[in-house]
């Protein structure tokens, strides 16, 4: 067994609801033991504790039989039999026994008194031990080195019970009732959401996000399915860092034709027919790929993906304009169908690192690719990485589109060795995609046939001779397309390399395009300023929106790709 993880479904659990549920994940099946403790020291030195600290340490494989004093002074006897927790499909779900949870709740109440009548600090530290089939030694996570003296070691916060919760009713009872729960606790999610609604302080950013969701016009009038609204509320409940992004995501819209838009959250993907809400929830249920640096939780990966959706112009281009072809494909997919993007991420960010493109082709991430995040900013040639989602998608499309041209490298060699992953992958992405490879990537992503209109790298005289006809064809195409299309322009003179952008419209003698060379969250210039090579204007730097005059485009256009029909 190489790795395992345990996490509560919520990092902070309300103290007057059903017991918390934990998810255990590993790269093998096996038998698990869950340990809980009031403090890291108790996890390091498991033992039986006597009153008043009877509950300081608990292990699921040992029968627990202790008496504690409740907040009201009465005695409570807690009996919990030993349990067997078995992983199936590399995963297990464990819900804390009710009697044990009731005991922790009483300790929480006692700790809230002035002065406190319990040494419990309302924080439960946890770890898991898993013995694989046929094995005699258990793998442990987190390790002692991550626990010793570390108050930030993996833990669950128990939220104190509000003495006088607000009587404010939930604005959409139908949606809340549709949230569901887990086996044995069929209304768990709606119960927890109501608790947060009644107990979160009005100044809480999480509560403000929930208020904004309930009050959003899209939520109230355009997501007509109560089941889908309930799923969005569940996404807020379980989404961790992403919950504060959801009101913005509700405002995100997708163009479906001339002057017709729909909320991005209800758009369906290209292969499974699931909405963006469905796919984001599916991402919460994956076992994250073990190579991901920092051992990200599913909730953190959801935040990564939502970050890309809200700013669909990211960069894995290593600072050079000619490397943006895979980036532009990501920008195009995020612009046209973010639900499909998330469907792909469910596979790419999971332990399998694999998925299926819309055209039915099975693809997988390059070996060890998540490890390149370790080389961001710390090497002679740093690797630019914004999110794991960006890295997973663009590296996979680069590998798929290049086919046999994608180079081999060693995941065991030093990163900066000639055959090391950082050296080789930097060189690979720096080369970008050839025009036919860009076409292959587009057809795989969208399951549509694209036509390549492109000037090969020939003499400057030949290039200039081909440009008038190419520009005429492009302007006619973008007028008819009614959706963005990839456009390649020369990005320096003399004509030596192209840079792929996403052309979004033609207006007042100018062509407007998204430039994926940088992220909108980190613009390289001020809105309204201009640049040369090629001559262009920064129309909205925060959205990477730029434009070039049609007259200038005549001498800078290099090619474009056209599906001849709407895609996405």
Kindly give, in sequence order, each residue whose CB lies less than 8 Å from that of residue 282, ignoring residues fewer than 6 positions away. Answer: 274, 342, 343, 346
For position 246, what pLDDT does the model report?
A: 95
Range in 14-18, 214-218, 448-452, 554-558 with the lowest mean pLDDT: 14-18
Q: Which long-range contacts (CB under 8 A, 24 or more apart) does 176-181 make?
A: 176/230, 176/233, 177/226, 177/230, 178/226, 178/227, 178/229, 178/230, 178/231, 179/230, 179/231, 179/233, 179/234, 179/237, 180/230, 180/234
**Rounded CA separation 56/100 (Å):** 12
pLDDT tens digits along 446-472: 999 999 999 887 777 878 888 999 999
Percent of the chain with pLDDT over 70: 93
Are 213 and 246 in contact by the 8 Å Cβ rule? The answer is: yes
Q: Which of 38-52, 302-316, 332-346, 382-396 has the highest mean pLDDT?
A: 332-346
Reported as a pLDDT band with limits 50, 70 and 90, residue 163 is: very low
Are 335 and 484 in contact by the 8 Å Cβ rule? The answer is: yes
Number of other residues whose CB lies within 10 A of the CB of residue 293: 14
What backbone torsions phi and psi does residue 241 show, to the nearest 5 degrees? -60, -20
Topology (CATH level 3) of domain 449-562: Cathepsin B; Chain A (3.90.70)
Residue by residue, DSSP assigns 284-339 as HTS-B-TTSTT---HHHHHHHHHHHHHS-----STT-GGG-HHHHHHHHHHHH-HH
As a whole number, mean pLDDT of residues 105-126 equals 91
For position 511, what pLDDT does the model report?
A: 95
Reported as a pLDDT band with limits 50, 70 and 90, residue 383 is: low
Check pLDDT > 50 for residue 541: yes
Q: What residues form DSSP beta bridges with 486? A: 502
Kindly give, in sequence order, each residue whose CB lies less than 8 Å from that of residue 261, ignoring residues fewer than 6 positions away. Answer: 253, 254, 255
3-state helix, strand and coil shares in percent for the chain, rounded to the nearest 5? 35, 25, 40
Question: Distances from the Cα of 370 to the Cαs of 300, 361, 490, 507, in angstroms?
Answer: 15, 22, 31, 41
Sketch the domain layout of the chain as residue ranges: 4-159, 165-251, 449-562
Q: Which of 197-211, 296-310, 371-385, 548-562 has the highest mean pLDDT?
A: 548-562
For position 167, what pLDDT does the model report?
A: 47
Number of other residues whose CB lies within 10 A of the CB of residue 379: 15
Reported as a pLDDT band with limits 50, 70 and 90, residue 3 is: confident
For position 63, what pLDDT does the model report?
A: 96
**Rounded CA separation 277/398 (Å):** 27
pLDDT tens digits along 476-494: 999 888 788 999 998 877 6
Range in 24-33, 114-123, 314-323, 539-548 with the lowest mean pLDDT: 314-323
Question: Distances from the Cα of 251 to the Cαs of 78, 184, 264, 267, in angstroms?
Answer: 49, 36, 8, 13
pLDDT tens digits along 313-356: 766 555 555 556 788 899 999 999 999 999 999 999 999 999 99
Q: Is 348 left (phi over 0), alpha (psi -120 to 50) or beta?
A: alpha
Beta strands in 21-83 (DSSP E): 21-26, 30-37, 57-59, 64-69, 75-80
Tell me whether the omega of the peptide bond preceding residue 305 falls within 30 degrees of 0, making it cis.
no
For position 508, what pLDDT does the model report?
A: 92
Q: Which long-range contacts (CB under 8 A, 24 or more apart) does 371-374 make?
A: 371/291, 371/293, 371/411, 371/415, 371/421, 372/415, 372/421, 372/422, 372/425, 373/293, 374/293, 374/415
As a whole number, mean pLDDT of residues 404-431 equals 79
Number of other residues whose CB lies within 10 A of the CB of residue 113: 10
Q: CA torsion, points 43, 26, 302, 241, in degrees to nearest 10?
A: 0
Question: Distances from the Cα of 200 to the Cαs of 168, 206, 211, in angstroms?
Answer: 12, 8, 11
**Rounded CA separation 71/106 (Å):** 6
| CA distance between the termini of the chain | 41
Tell me whether the omega of the peptide bond preceding residue 98 falls within 30 degrees of 0, making it cis.
no
As a whole number, mean pLDDT of residues 122-135 equals 92
Reported as a pLDDT band with limits 50, 70 and 90, residue 168 is: low
As a whole number, mean pLDDT of residues 400-417 equals 85
For the domain covering 4-159, report its CATH number. Answer: 2.60.40.1940
For position 496, what pLDDT does the model report?
A: 64
As a whole number, mean pLDDT of residues 409-436 equals 80
3-state secondary structure at position 45? coil
Range in 4-13, 229-238, 429-438 with the lowest mean pLDDT: 429-438
Residue that wins the pLDDT comparison between 385 and 337 = 337
For position 495, what pLDDT does the model report?
A: 64
Residue that wins the pLDDT comparison between 378 and 218 = 218
For position 321, what pLDDT does the model report?
A: 53
For position 165, what pLDDT does the model report?
A: 46
For position 96, what pLDDT does the model report?
A: 95
Q: Would you give the DSSP letter of residue 132? A: P
Percent of the chain with pLDDT over 90: 54
**Rounded CA separation 358/355 (Å):** 10
On the CB side of 410, how many CA atoms lie within 13 Å of its CA? 9
pLDDT tens digits along 245-279: 999 999 998 877 666 788 999 999 999 899 999 99
pLDDT tens digits along 505-533: 899 999 999 888 777 777 888 999 999 98
Question: Distances from the Cα of 20 to the Cαs of 24, 158, 186, 505, in angstroms?
Answer: 13, 9, 14, 51
Average pLDDT, the chain: 88
For position 430, what pLDDT does the model report?
A: 67
Reported as a pLDDT band with limits 50, 70 and 90, residue 182 is: confident
Q: Do domains 4-159 and 449-562 have the same CATH topology?
A: no
Check pLDDT > 90 for residue 370: no
| Distance from chain centroid for Cα 251 | 18
């Amino acid at each position: 067994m190489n790795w395992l993880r345990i996490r509560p479904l919520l990092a902070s659990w309300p103290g007057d609801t059903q017991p918390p549920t934990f998810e255990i994940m590993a790269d093998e099946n096996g038998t698990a033991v869950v340990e809980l403790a009031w403090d890291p020291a108790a996890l390091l030195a498991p033992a039986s504790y006597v009153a008043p600290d009877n509950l300081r340490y608990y292990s699921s494989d040992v029968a627990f039989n202790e008496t504690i004093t409740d907040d009201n002074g009465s005695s409570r006897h807690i009996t919990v039999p030993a349990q067997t927790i078995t992983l199936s499909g590399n995963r297990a779900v464990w819900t804390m026994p009710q009697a044990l949870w009731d005991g922790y709740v009483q300790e929480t109440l006692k700790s809230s008194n002035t002065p406190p009548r319990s040494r419990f600090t309302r924080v439960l530290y946890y770890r898991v031990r898993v013995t694989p089939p046929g094995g005699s030694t258990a793998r442990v996570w987190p390790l002692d080195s991550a626990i010793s003296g570390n108050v930030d070691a993996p833990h669950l916060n128990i939220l104190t019970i509000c003495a006088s919760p607000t009587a404010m009713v939930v604005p959409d009872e139908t949606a809340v009732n549709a949230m569901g729960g887990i086996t044995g606790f069929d209304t768990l999610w709606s119960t927890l959401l109501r608790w947060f609604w009644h107990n979160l302080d009005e100044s809480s950013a999480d509560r403000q996000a929930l208020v904004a969701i309930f009050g959003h016009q899209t939520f109230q009038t355009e997501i007509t399915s109560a089941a889908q609204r309930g799923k969005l509320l569940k996404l807020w409940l379980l989404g961790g860092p992403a919950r504060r992004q959801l009101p913005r995501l509700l405002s995100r819209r997708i163009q479906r034709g001339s002057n017709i838009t729909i909320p991005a959250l209800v758009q369906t993907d290209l292969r499974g027919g699931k909405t963006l809400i469905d796919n984001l929830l599916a991402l919460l249920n994956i076992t994250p790929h073990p190579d991901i640096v920092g051992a990200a939780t599913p909730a953190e990966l959801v935040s990564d993906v939502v970050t890309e959706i809200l700013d669909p112009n990211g960069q894995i281009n290593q600072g050079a304009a000619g490397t943006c072809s895979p980036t532009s494909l990501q920008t195009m997919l995020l612009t046209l169908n973010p639900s499909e993007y998330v469907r792909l991420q469910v596979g790419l960010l999971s332990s399998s690192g694999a998925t299926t493109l819309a055209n039915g082709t099975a693809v997988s991430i390059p070996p060890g690719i998540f490890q390149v995040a370790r080389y961001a900013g710390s090497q002679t040639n740093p690797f630019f990485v914004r999110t794991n989602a960006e890295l997973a998608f663009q590296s996979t499309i680069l590998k798929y589109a290049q086919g046999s041209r994608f180079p081999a490298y060693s995941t065991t060699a030093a990163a900066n060795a000639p055959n090391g992953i950082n050296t080789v992958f930097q060189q690979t992405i720096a080369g970008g995609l050839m025009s036919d490879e860009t076409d292959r990537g587009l057809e795989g992503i969208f399951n549509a046939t694209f036509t390549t209109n492109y000037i090969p790298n020939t003499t400057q005289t030949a290039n200039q001779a081909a440009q008038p006809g190419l520009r005429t064809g492009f302007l006619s195409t973008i007028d008819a397309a009614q959706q963005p299309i990839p456009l390649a322009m020369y990005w320096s003179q003399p004509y030596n390399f192209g840079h792929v952008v996403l052309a979004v419209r033609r207006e007042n003698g100018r062509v407007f395009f998204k430039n994926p060379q940088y992220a909108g969250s980190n613009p390289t210039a001020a809105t309204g300023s201009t640049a040369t090579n090629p001559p262009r204007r920064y129309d909205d730097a925060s959205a990477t929106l730029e434009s070039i005059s049609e007259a200038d485009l005549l001498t800078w256009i290099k090619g474009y790709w056209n599906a001849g029909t709407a895609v996405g």
